[in-house]
Amino acid sequence: MNIKLLENLKFLFFGNKTVKQTIFKNTFWLAASEAISRFFTLLLIIYVARVLGAAEYGKFTFAIAFVSLFGVFSDLGLSPIVTREFSREKEEEELFPAIFILKIVLLLGAIILTFIGSFFITSNPLIWKVIWILAVHNSINRFFEIVYAFLRARQRMEFEALMKIVQAALITGFGFFVILNFPSVLNLSLGYLLSSLVILVIVLLFFHFKVYRLRFSWDKIIWKKYLGMSWPLALAGFLGTIYNQTDSVMMGYLGQIAETGWYNAAYKVVRAALIPAVFISQSFYPALSVAFKRSGKELQKIWNYYAETLILIAVPMVVGGITLASRIINFIYNPSYAPSVLAFQILIIMAGIIFFHYPFNQILIVSNYQEKTFWVVFWGAIINVILNLILIPKFSFYGAAVATVITNILILFLLLRFVLKFTKINPFNLNLFFAVIGAVLSSVLMYLTISRPVIYYLHPLFSITLGAAVYLTFILIYKKLIKVFFSNKDV
């Protein structure tokens, strides 16, 4: 009996037998790794923000934002294309040695561009040094993307999960050691760099001996082939980085360092709320790529399942986040970060909208319309920069938060338009209609529960847990009723 149970567990968590089982396995491992790694890094960031204060923490986040602007040059959209092509044709793996060298060339180019750009964004020598150190750290982290892309193509997310957990543990360990013993922005950056170098060695050894024996190949024809497919994603990634990081860079450039710290304190928590969307999307991507080649009906079915899952998470996240914003920020940071509360409430709306982005964005890439994502992000970046130029000087980081929300609403409408025009997917179907209605009704009941003083003033973790329990209870009852009354429908 025990042997049979172990075999079943091994099949469930390590096998790739059926579409649903593989998606569940990949989602589980990515969820576990993201939850653990984000928890570790969030703990570190919270402690760093408390120890350094808003002004010094603002310098660190300003440097990270600036470095991130150049991060896209270290990948140029290669990773999702590698996952797509390798998952469709296993023979494509023979091209990996050339892609591996291309990745290294791109990383070096990104570091050089960041170094040059640093002299134009600030005259502070300390921030220069922090930018240079974090540029190398960021490039090493971006290097892992090509390894993860290979693993995702094989749908072996359990290996990716292991690597991410080790990486997060090392960064957190080095970070806490530095901030406890040598607290400064520069030393913290060095701690990040050292941890990334250690994990780089571990990842390369593991990948070489357990997954794919690394070889090197300088083949410009292969480079041209893959860059020819990835350039729309590269441009979209660059423009996406602009509208994600322009606000922090602009505030830092205008000397609003403390405001940058308050803004990023809220943003870090919101980014943690986006974790489910990320790992769910990564799990569905290979399955969507395979279904695209098989049948439109199977593709629609998997896409519906994907979109419904994100809807059922996004709606209560926004409602709960807005309701408990003050409790959450005060619990995570300290009273000096009170200005972050309103920014958090605005940005959590942005997070909910981004949940809706993923299914539309992924299906465009799967359907070989990745160039359309470029135009989506292009207009998003243009609008975001314009809004930041108008709103930040007047309303500081609150204006930046509003600009981000408006930008993401625009992006959602553009994505929807392209999906309707260029893909076989029908987003206006009964499954998603019932999902939206159920999520809204259950979220209203959740709000009525957590907004009551007796619940609201509990420890935030208890309030969140009770709210989630109420939501899950009502959504499960709702789905059961839908199945009973619409048993003859595909819902």
> According to the model, what pLDDT value does residue 346 have?
96
Share of the chain above pLDDT 90, in %: 32
Q: What is the pLDDT of residues 286-296, one digit of tens each?
A: 788 888 888 78
> According to the model, what pLDDT value does residue 440 have?
95
> According to the model, what pLDDT value does residue 5 have?
58
Inter-residue contact 227 to 76 (CB < 8 Å): yes
Q: Tokens 């199977």 correspond to what residue? A: 298
Q: What is the pLDDT of residues 167-197, one digit of tens each?
A: 888 888 888 898 888 888 899 999 989 988 9
Can you list the pairs that 131-135 forms with residues at least 24 positions away whose Cβ atoms lie under 8 Å?
131/63, 131/66, 131/67, 133/186, 133/189, 133/190, 133/192, 133/193, 134/63, 134/64, 134/67, 134/189, 134/192, 134/193, 135/67, 135/70, 135/110, 135/111
Region of residue 295 (phi > 0: left; psi between -120 and 50: alpha; otherwise: beta): beta
Q: Which of 170-184, 202-216, 236-250, 441-455 has the highest mean pLDDT?
A: 441-455
Give the closest residue to 107 by CA, choosing from 139, 136, 76, 133. 139
Distance CA 123, CA 485 (A): 67
Distance CA 408, CA 113 (A): 28
Give me 289's structure tokens.
């790529």
pLDDT at 491 over 60: no
pLDDT at 132 over 70: yes
Return the sign of the alpha-carbon dihedral for residues 329, 281, 373, 231: positive
Q: Over the chain, what HEC string results? A: CHHHHHHHHHHHHHCCCCHHHHHHHHHHHHHHHHHHHHHHHHHHHHHHHHHHHHHHHHHHHHHHHHHHHHHHHHCCCHHHHHHHHHHHCHHHHHHHHHHHHHHHHHHHHHHHHHHHHHHHHCCCHHHHHHHHHHHHHHHHHHHHHHHHHHHHHCCCHHHHHHHHHHHHHHHHHHHHHHHHHCCCHHHHHHHHHHHHHHHHHHHHHHHHHHHCCCCCCCCHHHHHHHHHHHHHHHHHHHHHHHHHHHHHHHHHHCCCHHHHHHHHHHHHHHHHHCHHHHHHHHHHHHHHHHHHHHCHHHHHHHHHHHHHHHHHHHHHHHHHHHHCHHHHHHHHCCHHHCCHHHHHHHHHHHHHHHHHHHHHHHHHHHCCCHHHHHHHHHHHHHHHHHHHHHHHHHHHHHHHHHHHHHHHHHHHHHHHHHHHHHCCCCCCCHHHHHHHHHHHHHHHHHHHHHCCHHHHCCCHHHHHHHHHHHHHHHHHHHHHHHHHHCCCCCC
> According to the model, what pLDDT value does residue 167 have?
83
Work out the average pLDDT over 353-364. Answer: 93
Output b/e per residue, 54-80; b: 16+ Cβ within 10 A: bebbbbbbbbbbbbbbbbbbbbbbbbb
pLDDT band of residue 3 (cuts 50, 70, 90) is low
Q: CA 65, 186, 182: angle at the middle one, nearest 5?
A: 135
Inter-residue contact 463 to 450 (CB < 8 Å): yes
Q: What is the pLDDT of residues 310-335, one digit of tens each?
A: 999 999 999 999 999 999 998 888 77
Q: 417 versus 142: which is more confidently predicted?
A: 417
Q: What is the pLDDT of residues 10-30, one digit of tens each?
A: 555 665 566 666 666 667 777
Q: 145 versus 315: which is more confidently predicted?
A: 315
pLDDT at 88 over 80: no
Give the closest residue to 239 by CA, choosing from 434, 458, 414, 442. 414
Q: Which of 210-214, 236-240, 260-264, 435-439 has the lowest mean pLDDT?
A: 236-240
Backbone angles phi, psi at 2, to 5 degrees: -65, -40
Q: Report the mean per-residue pLDDT for the chain.
A: 85
pLDDT at 479 over 50: yes
Q: 213 versus 443: which is more confidently predicted?
A: 443
Inter-residue contact 110 to 135 (CB < 8 Å): yes
Q: Which of 219-228, 231-240, 360-369, 394-403 has the lowest mean pLDDT?
A: 231-240
Q: Tokens 């990996």 correspond to what residue? A: 96
> According to the model, what pLDDT value does residue 78 have?
82
**Domain spans, the chain:** 11-427
Distance CA 174, CA 192 (A): 7
pLDDT at 110 over 50: yes
234, 238, 240, 241: CA torsion to nearest 10: 130
> According to the model, what pLDDT value does residue 1 have?
46
> According to the model, what pLDDT value does residue 446 have?
96
Work out the average pLDDT over 331-346. Answer: 89
Q: Which of 154-163, 275-284, 295-304, 346-355 has the highest mean pLDDT?
A: 346-355
Q: 282 versus 148: which is more confidently predicted?
A: 148
Which pTM was predicted? 0.69
Inter-residue contact 381 to 243 (CB < 8 Å): yes
